[in-house]
Amino acid sequence: MEMPGPDPEIIGRRENIIKALQAFIPANSIIAEEEGLRPFECDGLTAYRELPLIVVLPENADQISRILNYCYQSGVKIVPRGAGTSLSGGALPLADAITLGLSKLNKIIEVDYENRCVVAEPGVTNLAITEAVEDCGYYYAPDPSSQIACTIGGNVAENSGGVHCLKYGLTTNNLLGLKMILMDGQTINLGGKHMDPGGYDLMGIVTGSEGLLGVITEVTVRILPKPPTARALLMGFNSSEAAGKCVASIIGAGIIPGGMEMMDRKAIHAAENFVNAGYPLDAEAILIVELDGPVEEVDYLTDKVSEISCMAGATFVRSSVNEEERLLFWAGRKAAFPAVGRISPDYYCMDGTIPRHRLPEVLKRIADAAVRYGLGVANVFHAGDGNLHPLILYDANKPGELESAEAFGAEILKLCVEVGGVLTGEHGVGVEKRDLMETMFTEVDLMQQQRIKCAFDPKQLLNPGKVFPKLHRCAELGRLHINGGEMRFPNLPRF
């Protein structure tokens, strides 16, 4: 992975840049010493590290606007950063760019129960939104596994999902409004507390844009009344095919569970040894199916789903008898990544999505490739929506293993695209999958995407080096190619 080479001219101006920022940013919000910069050198994708030019931690939107305007005027690059939990290197610093940390914008601005929404600053954690409203019986639906730490601003940037998004949608489906600052310092408001404003859906394009279009300073999200009952069913199967068939039958029967997760043998064993969740250790695959709603609905669906799972050949079915047991079933799944971390010195988490019915074939080919690379792999799968997380086990201290793991990972993602899926379901492209973008998109597709970037950030100062494998200058992208200027097909039928 190669990042754009740092601009020595900018690095040479470092002291001047710090001085200029000090004119409108309090000294304690600017980090310039190496020991202070060190914690910012990477995000959740720890294989890549770089010390930022400097780190600035603004306290409010006004300061952000002034920082961006200054950088715009003086040609300095910016890398926005929430909690730094990205698994794709979205917040990886650049040696010639300011890392703009949004951790100080951490207030919930308004809770509006009458319109069922919360207005929050971008540095508020995902979980803190639910915590602010749960006493009144509400919650914020998208729940990425990192929800304790990840911020709502980062969730918008990455369009984060979670285990409940089959039924409740991703971040983009739960957003009502955004306030953001463009690279030139200008503030724009998108949406608000109302739905479907007219005009182009700028909020939709900003969501999942990985910090390349602007800096979010305020987010309005929908909150939902919490379902009165939630119950989890734990099922074991002799094969992932059988588990996959069970998932298809549940959906085929018209049931959309709140969550539907699959784990393979290696992941089951790792998780069970870690948290003793009661997983059947003789199973090749387990499913956790969560049903929520009024108790009458949950009772009814529990019977139906149990019946379907038996028909699909489940060797083990257990329905949680209380909240404690439901959370225990989930504890194993939620701890799957750290659990795998205990059985291997390092692991590399992948994030492709596939059409669900291709799962058996994809798992088989992953297993074959694992043998070829001489590496282990554990699979965790958001079964309802086809989002697959293979965890590749490797040891970074063994020469060549990191490179092998990366090559194996790239092969898995290409496989996902080959079977009709996509490179990333929820972790983002970042730097990690940047060079694979051409397996999914043509040059023409990617150039149109970059023109969107140019519309927001014509000098391409925001988070450069991420998402796009090739950088084109905006002027070059804007050029229009007309062939000849003559009507090429005068004989086409015209009615």
Partner 1 sequence: MSSVFEPKKIIDLEQIIGDALAQKIPLEILGAGSKRAVGQPMVTAQQVSLVSFSGITLYEPEELVLAARAGTPLMEIEKALDQFGQQLAFEPVNLGNMLGSKLAQTIGGIMATNFSGPRRIQAGAARDHLLGVEMVTGRGERIKTGGRVVKNVTGYDLCKLFVGSYGTLAVATDLTFKVLPASEKTRTILVAVEDEETAISAMKDSLNSPNNVSGAAFLSREISKRSKVSYVSSANASIAAIRIEGSAPSVEARCCALKKILIVYGDIQELHYHNSMQFWKEVGNVTPYVDKVGVVWRISAAPTNAIEIVRKISNNLAIEFYLDWGGGLIWLRVIEKRNDGGAVEIRDAIKGHGGHATLIRANEKIRSQVPVFQPQAEGVATLSQRLKSSFDPTGILNPGRMTYSPGPEHAN
Tell the residue number behind the tokens 């040609």, with chain if given.
75
Segment lying near partner 1 (by CB under 8 A), choices 268-276, 372-380, 397-405, 432-440: 432-440
Considering only residues 106 to 135 of the shown chain, the ones binding partner 1 according to CB under 8 A are 113-116
Stretch that binds partner 1, among 6-14, 271-279, 294-302, 314-322 (CB under 8 A): 294-302
Least distance (Å) between residue 434 CB and partner 1: 10
DSSP class of 356: G
Angle between helices 359-373 and 240-252 (to 10 degrees): 150
Q: Which one of 338, 455, 471, 473 is in contact with partner 1 (CB under 8 A)?
A: 455
Q: Which is nearer to partner 1, 74 or 448 (CB)?
A: 448
What part of residues 352-391 is at the interface with partner 1 (CB under 8 A)? Answer: 353-357, 382, 385-387
- Give the single-character DSSP code of 432: T
Closest CA to 215 of 128, 123, 350, 334: 123
Q: Of the ranges 58-66, 273-281, 362-370, 445-453, which one interacts with partner 1 (CB under 8 A)?
A: 445-453
Q: Which is nearer to partner 1, 13 or 231 (CB)?
A: 231
Nearer to partner 1, 166 or 285 (CB): 166
CA angle 358, 362, 365 (to 5 degrees): 145
Q: Does residue number 27 form part of the binding site for partner 1 (CB under 8 A)? A: no
Residue with tokens 């043509």: 442
Q: Draw the binding track, 35-74, toward partner 1 (x: CB under 8 A; -: no contact).
A: ----------------------------------------
- Taking CB under 8 A as the criterion, the residue among 187, 238, 239, 315 binding partner 1 is 187
Assess 256 for contact with partner 1 (CB under 8 A): yes
Separation of alpha carbons 472 and 478, rounded Å: 10
Per-residue DSSP letter, 38: G
Q: Pairing mode, if any, of strands 97-101 and 54-56?
A: parallel
Pick the closer one to partner 1 by CB: 272 or 351: 351
> Closest Cα partner for 304 from 233, 229, 243?
233
Contact stretch for partner 1 (CB under 8 A) within 46-54, 76-84, 98-106, 477-485 = 477-485
Which residue shows structure tokens 């996959």? Answer: 244
Q: Does 488 bind partner 1 (CB under 8 A)?
A: yes
Sole window of 305-313, 370-378, 402-410, 434-442 interacting with partner 1 (rule: CB under 8 A): 434-442
Minimal distance, residue 339 CB to partner 1, in Å = 23
CB 363 → partner 1: shortest distance, Å? 17
| 90 φ/ψ angles, rounded to the nearest 5 degrees | -60, -30
Q: Which two tokens stand for residue 45?
A: 């994708």
Q: Rule CB under 8 A: is residue 425 a binding residue for partner 1?
A: yes
Cα 13-15-20 angle, rounded to 5 deg: 90
Tokens of 456: 């927001």
Q: Give the interface segment with partner 1, choosing from 44-52, 55-63, 274-282, 485-493 (CB under 8 A).
A: 485-493
474-485 CB burial, b ≥16 within 10 A, e <16: eeeeeeeeeeee
Site for partner 1 in 145-174 (CB under 8 A): 158-159, 161, 165-166, 169-170, 172-173
Q: Are 435 and 383 a contacting pair, CB within 8 Å? A: no
Tell me the closest approach of the beta carbon of residue 100 to partner 1, in angstroms: 20
Q: Of the candidates 23, 27, 321, 444, which one interacts with partner 1 according to CB under 8 A?
A: 444
Neighbouring C-beta atoms of residue 293, cutoff 10 Å: 16
Task: Report which secondary-structure segment, H or E, holds 454.
Answer: helix 443-456
| Binding test (CB under 8 A) with partner 1, winner from 421, 431, 460, 466 | 421
Contact 219, 152 (CB under 8 A): yes
Nearer to partner 1, 225 or 345 (CB): 225
Q: How many CA atoms lie within 13 A of 375 on its CB side?
A: 28
Residue 217 in contact with partner 1, rule: CB under 8 A: no
Q: How far apart are CA 113 and CA 106, in angstroms?
A: 20
Q: Which of 323, 368, 445, 476 binds partner 1 (CB under 8 A)?
A: 445
Is the C-alpha dihedral spanning 210, 65, 94, 478 positive or negative?
A: positive
When the beta carbons of 52 and 465 are compared against partner 1, the nearer one is 465
* β partners of residue 393: 347, 376
- Of the candidate spans 10-18, 235-243, 365-373, 474-482, the one that interacts with partner 1 by CB under 8 A turns out to be 474-482
By CB under 8 A, tell whether 2 contacts partner 1: no
